[in-house]
């Protein structure tokens, strides 16, 4: 079923519209020039009904993404947070994925977006395991991309910008065509940056290591995992990471709203650890899924019930 042809409701410029009517003109500025930002937020089924995971953090990043690119959002963070909950409710989702998007309109053509107009849409739909069924237990196989992640002065990576994802698509397609599940990109200095749609972690000698996120997105899932690791007494290091360090890591995993916490068991046809999900990855997955399902009272504040 096409994403455009569904029953349901999409919040579009301040009000819910029937799903099929949430459409734009072909001369929409962002379609041509790529100035736009988005978010991805998961709603999970909890004992209190559907709840959005870390809604304030995602909403804040949405506002900051727009700020970085000079897009003036015509809504407050309170309005945007309320709208995201409204979309989950209106579509009667017990769980799902919420996609806020801000883009420049069809007011004018030409690189200068002044006068194009800013639009905001929020859709939500059910979305299962991002990297395939069974990936959470079995783990996935990745390759280092031949494409570099953006230099920090090419595409500013603190902004979750639509244009960043052409680079992600190149990397992901290359990896899939070569028989891998996902790509990990290096930065322009050759150090590990991130997955096409995920942050990367590795485990060495019981310590959790995350690459510096200079040319990666500051992931909300990543931040949650770092907090959970600290509670588990696992030391966390942030520093530059090389691709060969991934080859000799005891464990590697990816984090993201869509990918959640996905183990990596092979990098560039080299087995990671013993080729199976490692114990620290399994422990952090368990903690993460307890939090998102509302089964960990310590992190009840990470959930915003939509009702």
Task: Catalogue the active-site residues.
Answer: 160
10 binds ligand PPE (CB under 6 A): no
Which of 29, 119, 150, 222 binds ligand PPE (CB under 6 A)? It is 222
40 binds ligand PPE (CB under 6 A): yes
221 binds ligand PPE (CB under 6 A): yes
Measured from each CB, the residue nearest to ligand PPE is: 40
45 binds ligand PPE (CB under 6 A): no
Restricting to residues 150-189, name those near ligand PPE by CB under 6 A: 168
Number of residues that this document lists for the chain: 307
Angle subtended by helix axes 220-231 and 55-68, to nearest 10? 140
Structure tokens at 8: 């349901």
Q: Across 145-292, where does the E strand assignment appear?
A: 182-186, 192-195, 199-204, 207-211, 236-239, 251-256, 260-267, 270-271
Which of these, 266, 263, 281, 306, lies nearest to 139 by C-alpha position?
A: 263
Residue number with CB closer to ligand PPE (104 or 217): 217
- Which residue has 């080299």 as its token pair? 270
- Rg (C-alpha) for the chain, rounded Å, is 19
Q: Considering CB under 6 A, how many residues would be counted as binding ligand PPE? A: 17
Which of 236, 258, 282, 290 binds ligand PPE (CB under 6 A)? It is 258
197 binds ligand PPE (CB under 6 A): yes
Which of 96, 113, 219, 273 binds ligand PPE (CB under 6 A)? It is 219
φ, ψ of residue 84 in degrees (nearest 5): -65, -40
Residues that bind ligand PPE (CB under 6 A): 40, 168, 194, 197-199, 216-217, 219-222, 255-259
């Amino acid at each position: 079923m096409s994403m455009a042809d569904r029953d349901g409701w999409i919040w579009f410029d301040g009000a819910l519209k029937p799903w099929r009517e949430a459409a734009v003109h072909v001369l929409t500025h962002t379609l041509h020039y790529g100035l736009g930002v988005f978010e991805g937020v998961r709603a999970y089924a909890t004992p209190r009904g559907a709840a959005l995971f870390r809604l304030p953090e995602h909403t804040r990043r949405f506002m900051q993404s727009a700020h970085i690119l000079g897009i003036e959002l015509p809504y407050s963070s309170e309005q945007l947070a309320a709208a995201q909950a409204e979309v989950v409710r209106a579509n009667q989702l017990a769980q799902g994925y919420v996609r806020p998007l801000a883009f420049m309109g069809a007011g004018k053509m030409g690189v200068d977006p002044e006068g194009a107009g800013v639009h905001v849409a929020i859709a939500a739909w059910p979305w299962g395991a991002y990297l395939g069924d069974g990936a959470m237990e079995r783990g996935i196989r990745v390759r280092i991309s031949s494409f570099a992640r953006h230099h920090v002065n090419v595409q500013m990576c603190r902004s979750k910008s639509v244009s960043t994802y052409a680079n992600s698509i190149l990397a992901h397609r290359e990896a899939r065509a070569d028989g891998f599940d996902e790509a990990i990109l290096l930065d322009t200095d050759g150090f590990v940056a991130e997955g096409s749609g995920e942050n990367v972690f590795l485990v060495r000698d019981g310590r959790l290591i995350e690459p510096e996120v200079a040319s990666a997105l500051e992931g909300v899932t990543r931040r949650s995992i770092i907090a959970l690791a600290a509670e588990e007494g696992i030391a966390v290091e942030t520093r530059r990471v090389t691709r060969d360090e991934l080859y000799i890591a005891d464990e590697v995993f990816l984090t993201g709203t869509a990918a959640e916490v996905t183990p990596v068991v092979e990098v560039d046809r080299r087995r990671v650890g013993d080729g199976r999900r490692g114990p620290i990855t399994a422990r952090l997955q368990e903690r993460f899924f307890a939090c998102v399902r509302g089964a960990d009272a310590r992190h009840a504040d990470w959930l915003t019930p939509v009702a």
